[in-house]
Amino acid sequence: MAGKGGYIPGSGRKKGVPNKVNADLKAMILGALAGAGGQDYLQRQAEMNPGAFMTLIGKVLPMQMTGEGGGPVWVITGVDRDDDSSESNETGFGSNDASETSIKD
């Protein structure tokens, strides 16, 4: 007769232990980056292959950003806005402030 199967307490990798394959792969990638020139190489790639570089940036940056004290992130553009621009909305875009825009979730 077959056993019941299912979850067995205490089996498998313990919580918080990283996957060895992922750790080894990360070490190889960082080694290859160092061999290719490190930061100088990445700067050249940003100029020569901006699409691929921006994809990399999207992978390594945090997915959610918050401003000081958990508030909205302020983008300083330096672009003056006309007084008769569209009215302010909940995202902060369209405000009449000349140089700051709030980005909210």
Which residues on adjacent β-strands are paired with residue 74?
A: 102
The total number of residues shown for the chain amounts to: 105
What is the tens place of the pLDDT at every residue in 59-85?
A: 888 777 777 888 888 877 777 777 555
What is the tens place of the pLDDT at every residue in 38-54?
A: 999 999 999 999 999 99
Residue whose structure tokens are 């806005």:
81
